[in-house]
Chains A and B, each alone.
Chain A
Amino acid sequence: MLVIGGGAAGVAAATAAGRAGARVILLERYGFLGGLATTAEVGTICGLYLRDTVATSATPVTGGFPMEFAGRLQQSSHTKPLCMNGGLWVLPYFPTDFARLADAIISEIKEVELILHTVVASVRAEDSRIIEVCSLAWNEQLQIHPSVVVDCTGEATAAALGGAAAENGAMDQSPALVFVLENVDPGLAKRGLLEVRRELRQAVQRGSLPALCERLSLIPGSGANGSFAFKLSLLPAKATTAFWQQLTHWEREARALLEPLVRFLTIQVAACRNARLVSVAPQLGIRSGRRILGRSRLTDDAVLSLRKSPVGIARGSWPMERWSDNPKPEMTYFAERGYYDLPFDCLRPVELDNTFAAGRCLSATTGAMTSARVIGTAMATGWAAGTAAAFRASGRSLEEAIALIRKQME
């Protein structure tokens, strides 16, 4: 079977399928694993824990692979769960540790063959099945004939190319570029970037910096040792532009801003006087993309009413978090310590019997995906899709797969 995309969902899917005994090929477009967690340097894992304003430690929303991964990541990153405003618990991590851990986990399973630097170019489907996936493996065409496909591309690329109905969520949320400054006064984090925001606000009002510069925030958990990971949020996509054009524009616009922005900070903000720009994420963090219109669809109402399902295969605990025109996200919370179920059929395209979609491209409404898209939930849905795919590949029933997944969540 074939897993496409080596991000949080894809690593979980390949691990689940390999541990269930399936022979797996895992394709990844970059030279390392982790998807946006590493290429966009997201910096915190959301969706692992229940929201809680009172507790002094984090409560996992689920058992199984997401917590196994989080436990090992905590050891390698020397981090621990952190409580932010509103009782939101996240796990900070270093992107290089995430990539290394994902690779270590995949290496432990001899059934998984990882092929890096490979993108899917076309898909052939017959009789409601994907029968061939043509990819470009670095500089050569590679044809794969999978029995089952798990689409963890974040863009439903394989499912859509194979004829599955999909919706374009590219305009739902704005993207962000992460960059790291070193040699910053650690006290700046405690002051919530206040003096940075003050200077940026005045500079934007004077017209000496573009308005986008005000859309700056700090990645939670960073800053303690003077190394600050900042996130610059852009504006949502325009309906009139093809997404690949929009993406090109965003990448160039954001990267071009960094030089004047950092120069400004070193001159105007005492805490940043000796700051040095040491890295910029290789890719923008794209919060929303194309997703399948599946046999079931996670709705806003299901999320906000904490709906449970007898075929729930993952649990969502993150509130709806929508990054739009405002420089900060609009949050829609549900009850503390609550979670909702993601029903199994959200992973299943209507048109394809041997294909599952996990992570950001499963079937959900715009609002529901602003909650379900986060890394912790993506890992859980990836695990479920990988398990189901292994069961299907070996002729076992999907009901058995669901029962096993649900047992592992406890």
Chain B
Amino acid sequence: MTPEKDPKIIAARLCEFVRTNFVAEGVDFNENGPLSEAGIDSFALVELVLFCERVLGVRVPDSQLTSANLASISSLASCIAELAHTAHKTA
């Protein structure tokens, strides 16, 4: 699988996944809002990270599972895009 490198496309896909699976109806949610305020706990975060690996083709190393990277969809999308670039260069 070729990993997706565009942070905007990644963010859109992550948003869709989170909206479908975790965000309660009526809760205002966007890619820059804090995930914790959208009801994303550590159990949901695991699903989100596994989604990145399964669908976007990027494995997030343990060292990147930081609260800064997991603060919002946009921060996670930037992290995934960066990882995809690095993986591409390495390959």
Which residues of A are in contact with B by a Cβ distance under 8 Å?
A: 85, 190-195, 197-198, 201-202, 269-271, 327-328
Partner-contacting stretch, out of B16-24, B60-68, B80-88: B60-68
Top 9 nearest A-B pairs (CB, nearest first) are A192-B42, A197-B46, A195-B62, A194-B65, A191-B65, A198-B46, A270-B62, A195-B65, A328-B43
Most chain A C-beta atoms within 10 Å of own C-beta, residue among B36, B45, B65? B65
Q: Which residues of A contact B6 (CB under 8 A)?
A: none
B75 to chain A, nearest CB (A): 14
Contact partner, B41, options A190, A269, A328, Cβ 8 Å: A328
A213 to chain B, nearest CB (A): 13
Given A85-B36, A190-B67, A191-B67: A197 and B62 interface contact (C-beta under 8 Å):
no
Question: 11 other contacts beyond A201-B46, A327-B43, with CB at 8 A cut-off?
Answer: A85-B41, A191-B65, A191-B66, A191-B67, A193-B42, A194-B70, A195-B65, A197-B42, A197-B43, A269-B62, A328-B41
Q: Which residues of B contact A194 (CB under 8 A)?
A: 42, 45-46, 49, 65, 70
Q: List 11 A-B contacts (CB under 8 A).
A: A190-B66, A192-B45, A194-B45, A194-B46, A194-B65, A195-B62, A197-B43, A198-B46, A202-B50, A269-B62, A328-B43
- When each residue 1-24 of chain B gets 1 if its CB lies under 8 Å from chain A and 0 otherwise, what string results? 000000000000000000000000
Provide the bound-state CA to CA distance between A270 and B67, in Å.
18
Which residues of B are in contact with A by a Cβ distance under 8 Å?
A: 36, 41-43, 45-46, 49-50, 62, 65-67, 70
Q: Which residues of A contact B46 (CB under 8 A)?
A: 194, 197-198, 201
Provide the bound-state CA to CA distance between A269 and B63, in Å.
11
Q: Which residues of B contact A85 (CB under 8 A)?
A: 36, 41
Q: Which residues of A contact B49 (CB under 8 A)?
A: 194, 198
Provide the bound-state CA to CA distance between A192 and B48, in Å.
14
Provide the bound-state CA to CA distance between A202 and B54, in Å.
11
Provide the bound-state CA to CA distance between A344 and B91, in Å.
71
A200 to chain B, nearest CB (A): 9
Q: Which residue of A lies closest to B49 (CB)?
A: A198
Contact partner, A271, options B41, B45, B62, Cβ 8 Å: B62
Q: Which residues of B contact A197 (CB under 8 A)?
A: 42-43, 46
A321 to chain B, nearest CB (A): 14
Provide the bound-state CA to CA distance between A192 and B40, in Å.
12
Q: Which residues of A contact B50 (CB under 8 A)?
A: 198, 201-202
Provide the bound-state CA to CA distance between A270 and B46, in Å.
17
Provide the bound-state CA to CA distance between A212 and B25, in Å.
30
Q: Which residues of B contact A269 (CB under 8 A)?
A: 62
A194 to chain B, nearest CB (A): 5
Q: Which residue of B lies closest to A202 (CB)?
A: B50
A73 to chain B, nearest CB (A): 27
Q: Which residues of A contact B65 (CB under 8 A)?
A: 191, 194-195
Provide the bound-state CA to CA distance between A198 and B46, in Å.
6
B19 to chain A, nearest CB (A): 21
